[in-house]
Amino acid sequence: MGRTQKKNSKGRLDRYYYLAKEKGYRARSSFKVIQINEKFGHFLEKSKVVIDLCAAPGSWCQVASKLCPVNSLIIGVDIVPMKPMPNVITFQSDITTEDCRSRLRGYMKTWKADTVLHDGAPNVGLGWVQDAFTQSQLTLQALKLAVENLVVNGTFVTKIFRSKDYNKLIWVFQQLFEKVEATKPPASRNVSAEIFVVCKGFKAPKKLDPRLLDPKEVFEELPDGPQNMEAKVYNPEKKVRKRQGYDEGDNLLYNTAPIMEFIETEDPITMLGKLNKFDVDPENNEWKIVNKMKQTNKELLACIEDLKVLGRKDFKMILRWRKNARDLLGLDKDEDNDAVDVNPLTEEEQIDKELSNLQEKQRLSKKREKRKKNETKQKEITRMQMNMLTPDDIGIEAANLGRESLFNLKTAEKTGILDKLAKGKKRMLFNDEELAQDNDIHIDEKIVRERDIYKDTDDLEAEMDSMYDNFKQRKSERDAKFRARQARGGDNEEEWTGFNDKKADEGENEESDYEMEDTGSELSDSDDDEAITQLISKIKTQTSQSKLSNKASRFFSNPIFDNIVADLPNKLNANGVDSESVGDISKLKPKSKANAAAEQIDQQEVDSSDASDSEDSDFEIVANKDSKLEDLDSDYDSEEEAKRTNEEKHKKELDIATVEAMTLAHQLATGQKTKSDLVNEGFNRYTFRDTDNLPAWFVEEEAQHSKINRPITKEAAMAIKEKMRALNARPIKKVAEAKARKKMRAVARLEKIKRKAGLINDDSDKSERDKAEEISRLMKKVTKKQRTKPQVTLVYASGSNRGLSGRPKGVKGKYKMVDGVLKNEQRALKRIAKKHHKKKK
Ligand code: SAM
């Protein structure tokens, strides 16, 4: 890596780098000594003599000369030359040499140093172990110089690298100083292994044991204790790195030994921990015996091929196998015999032993079962969290199901639902009992039962869909028939009899959901005009008498029926229609006009729903489009609650969405139209279209055009336009997101500046004025970003401005002198654009 590249690489040019530049320090490491000095009682301020070992480029010397009292003696030495600096004596020398020692003595004369600093780092690049060792040696050398030159109670600050020598060095320091503390100043990068040790209170012993400063003695290697192979074998997953290198003579990375040696050894664990493989000699007679053992299977042979990849279970298995092999070969015979000879058990003791064995077994099996259950539960919960289960499936029952029951592919394959499983359509859960019976008998029944029990959402949805399809089909068929009959004049033998008691009683019957439609077929056709109105009136009567099924009465609890039931007058309207059926609408006195309009539109929808498809309706009333169905399906706890919910829903969903509907609402509100007009308009030439035997596509297409053209007013159109504009004015998701992002960025920027300002504020090296200036500079940067670009005024260099140097008269702010050609060009462009615009018009 080149020098520049290194400097610019990520993270190197941090804030300390810039701060050092700003302050005029030669290196960012100056802040390390500043921070150490601050943390350890400002020792530099009290030092009159300071020696800086390994000082180049000299930033620590700079700090010392700044902080130490005036006229202090500061000496800096380094193996590389250093640029001279005021108030500091510098010289070039290797601190490990006698030359350095004597030159230092020459500069020191009779003085003693209050502080010795050492930030030495050997020229790195020799490899980690080598670097660390030289560093430790350099430190010890620095300590040697410090011991020679320090005053009693003096301070020694040194850098150490985290290595195996660390503790040894600390121990040496502790012998020579009162207080030894390790620290890592914030300016020292986390990625660096360097640590600084501050040794205070030099003891200045009169007699010094030379071994204390002898690298050979200090860093002497002690033989390693026995390794814990047991831990290695029983916890093979925890790999301990060999930071210390390899054992002596252990030069091979791949070690093998004959398998028979493993069987015979008294320390099998160590072998398992050290070796990579066991060699098998097929000609070995003992091996031939062992090989005949049942346990000498393929798995074992595979395991002994690569011991380093084995887990705890595998090692256990190998050790069990070894024991059996030893038994077979009679290697453990003596021990066994000894054991037998010692204590022959009495009958009672034998029974006791067996009993306790049985109890132990039972306890273990219980424990195993419990663990299995817990695992199953855990799995279920995980599946639940991943939306793979419904809440009903978890819990005790799920836990009881047993582990293998969760997902039994074998059974799935046999029963043929594997495909579905693969597609994610089915989920299988079998219990233990069924697994015990497993596979051969009643498998189909079992699956059918499973399907019933664990019918998942897909099934339910599919069922709902098909039910709804049926409903729609029946509805359209009935409508078509009904209309055809109406068109033919119909036969009026049958009178509407309402819901018979039997049906009403079948509240929970699914069919009752469609009672509204069933009634259609029971209508008497005595009068075409009266048919639908009669239907409504009868329903209302029924509702008021409360003879309906629960679901039906919930349906009629919809607010649109409320007033109708309440104000039923027994009069005929102008058309001769029984007012019980339609006149009720005209007699209504709603609370507000707008409400009235809306309700009438709703009512018209209800009236015409049997006569024409709801899609054909001229009024796109959002309210209650699907509410009928929803209401029937909904399952409220109480009727009141259902009613309340319906009311709320009705209010929320009521919306006039088309110009036609708005016109009608206006007309109703202003009294231009009455409710009976509305009802009458509901019956027009399109009302009873004969669609019998017509293809569905034709009916659908016709429906778009076979409808009455309702007049619309300008006011209504304006009202709808206004409404749409209000809707459009709401910010779209993307805009809102962009705004939020912008805000987030601004906040992040502000946070960053706050942090920077905090740092500046904490910097004890800076004067208050400096701090204030820096912070205001930071703030300016932010405001600059937010400011819009200043407008530049173009000034044409023509007329009085021709050849003008300096600001033209009457021009404020930024300006730019341009020649006349540009002016003409711009004018031409404007002209052309204008022409185009006119042509387009
Ligand atoms: N504290 C210094 C500063 O702030 O400017 C930076 C010191 S720098 C990290 C380490 C220095 O140790 C290098 O300049 C290197 O030349 C010096 N060094 C390494 N081995 C040395 C030795 N045997 N004798 C003298 N200086 C040595």
The span from the CA of 598 to the CA of 590, in Å, is: 10
The span from the CA of 451 to the CA of 455, in Å, is: 5
pLDDT value for 429: 43
Characterize the bridge pairing of strands 277-279 and 194-202.
unpaired
Q: Which atom of ligand 1 is nearest to the CA of 96?
A: 23
Characterize the bridge pairing of strands 815-818 and 793-796.
parallel
Model confidence at 634: pLDDT above 50: no
Each residue's pLDDT tens digit, 294-321: 888 988 999 898 888 888 888 888 998 9
For 56, 634, 672, 753, 777, the CA distances from 773, given in Å and listed in that order, are 32, 69, 76, 14, 6
* HEC string for 169-225: HHHHHHHHEEEEEEECCCCCCCCCCEEEEEEEEECCCCCCCHHHHCHHHHCCCCCCC
pLDDT value for 769: 86
Give pairs for 379-384: CB < 8 Å, separation 24+: 379/406, 380/406
Nearest CA to ligand 1 atom 20: 122
Each residue's pLDDT tens digit, 422-477: 554 444 444 444 444 444 434 444 444 444 444 444 555 666 666 667 776 776 76
pLDDT value for 334: 52
**Residue 44 per-residue DSSP state:** G
Extract the annotated binding site.
58, 60, 78, 94, 119
Model confidence at 544: pLDDT above 60: no
Catalytic status, residue 159: yes
Each residue's pLDDT tens digit, 271-298: 888 888 899 888 888 888 888 888 889 8
Catalytic residue selected from 23, 32, 144, 159: 159
The span from the CA of 317 to the CA of 325, in Å, is: 12
**Phi-psi bin for 225: left (phi > 0), alpha (psi -120 to 50), beta?**
beta
Average pLDDT, the chain: 71
Residue 102 Cα, ligand 1 centroid: separation in angstroms?
Answer: 19
Averaged pLDDT for residues 676-688: 83
Cα-only R_g, the chain: 48
Q: How confident is the model at residue 835 (pLDDT cuts 50, 70, 90)?
A: confident
The span from the CA of 231 to the CA of 239, in Å, is: 10
CATH of span 15-219:
3.40.50.150
Is ligand 1 within 6 A of the CB of residue 185? no
pLDDT value for 34: 95
Q: How confident is the model at residue 64 (pLDDT cuts 50, 70, 90)?
A: very high
Highest mean pLDDT (candidates 16-25, 62-71, 183-192, 235-244): 62-71
Highest mean pLDDT (candidates 87-91, 121-125, 454-458, 561-565): 87-91
Averaged pLDDT for residues 335-343: 49
Cβ atoms of 194 and 50 within 8 Å: the answer is: no
Averaged pLDDT for residues 684-704: 81
Range of lowest pLDDT (44-53, 214-223, 365-374, 767-776): 214-223
824: which 2 tokens?
């003409």
Model confidence at 337: pLDDT above 70: no
Averaged pLDDT for residues 613-623: 36
pLDDT value for 45: 94
Is ligand 1 within 6 A of the CB of residue 122? yes
Cβ atoms of 194 and 159 within 8 Å: the answer is: yes
For 70, 105, 108, 370, 540, the CA distances from 102, given in Å and listed in that order, are 26, 5, 10, 78, 119
Residue 28 Cα, ligand 1 centroid: separation in angstroms?
Answer: 14
More confident residue, 306 or 129: 306
Is ligand 1 within 6 A of the CB of residue 91? no
Element (H, E) at 314: helix 312-329
pLDDT value for 483: 61
For 184, 550, 763, the CA distances from 553, given in Å and listed in that order, are 79, 5, 78
Q: How confident is the model at residue 490 (pLDDT cuts 50, 70, 90)?
A: very low
pLDDT value for 41: 93
pLDDT value for 438: 43
Is ligand 1 within 6 A of the CB of residue 56? yes
The span from the CA of 645 to the CA of 639, in Å, is: 10
pLDDT value for 63: 95
pLDDT value for 266: 85
**Phi-psi bin for 424: left (phi > 0), alpha (psi -120 to 50), beta?**
left
More confident residue, 394 or 50: 50
Residue 300 Cα, ligand 1 centroid: separation in angstroms?
Answer: 58
pLDDT value for 247: 53
pLDDT value for 392: 46
Cβ atoms of 659 and 716 within 8 Å: the answer is: yes
781: which 2 tokens?
């940067």
For 172, 313, 332, 431, 466, the CA distances from 265, given in Å and listed in that order, are 44, 21, 12, 49, 75
- pLDDT over 70, % of the chain: 58
The span from the CA of 793 to the CA of 796, in Å, is: 10
Q: Which of 29, 59, 67, 79 to mutate to test the pocket of ligand 1 (most atoms within 8 A of CB)?
A: 79
Question: Where exactly are the structural domains of the chain?
Answer: 15-219, 252-329, 724-787, 790-803+811-831
Is ligand 1 within 6 A of the CB of residue 649? no
615: which 2 tokens?
């899609």
Q: Which atom of ligand 1 is nearest to the CA of 58?
A: 5
Characterize the bridge pairing of strands 150-161 and 194-202.
antiparallel
Q: How confident is the model at residue 344 (pLDDT cuts 50, 70, 90)?
A: low
Residue 137: count other Cβ atoms within 10 Å of its Cβ: 16
pLDDT value for 175: 92
Q: How confident is the model at residue 104 (pLDDT cuts 50, 70, 90)?
A: very high
Residue 55 Cα, ligand 1 centroid: separation in angstroms?
Answer: 5
Cβ atoms of 607 and 679 within 8 Å: the answer is: yes
pLDDT value for 764: 80
Element (H, E) at 831: helix 820-840
| 233 CB-near residues (< 8 Å, 6+ apart) | 269, 272, 273, 315
pLDDT value for 170: 92
Residue 78 Cα, ligand 1 centroid: separation in angstroms?
Answer: 6
Characterize the bridge pairing of strands 194-202 and 177-183.
antiparallel
Model confidence at 533: pLDDT above 80: no
Is ligand 1 within 6 A of the CB of residue 131? no
Highest mean pLDDT (candidates 389-398, 531-540, 577-586, 703-712): 703-712
Nearest CA to ligand 1 atom 2: 55
pLDDT value for 172: 92
Peptide bond just before 57 cis, omega within 30 deg: yes
pLDDT value for 251: 59
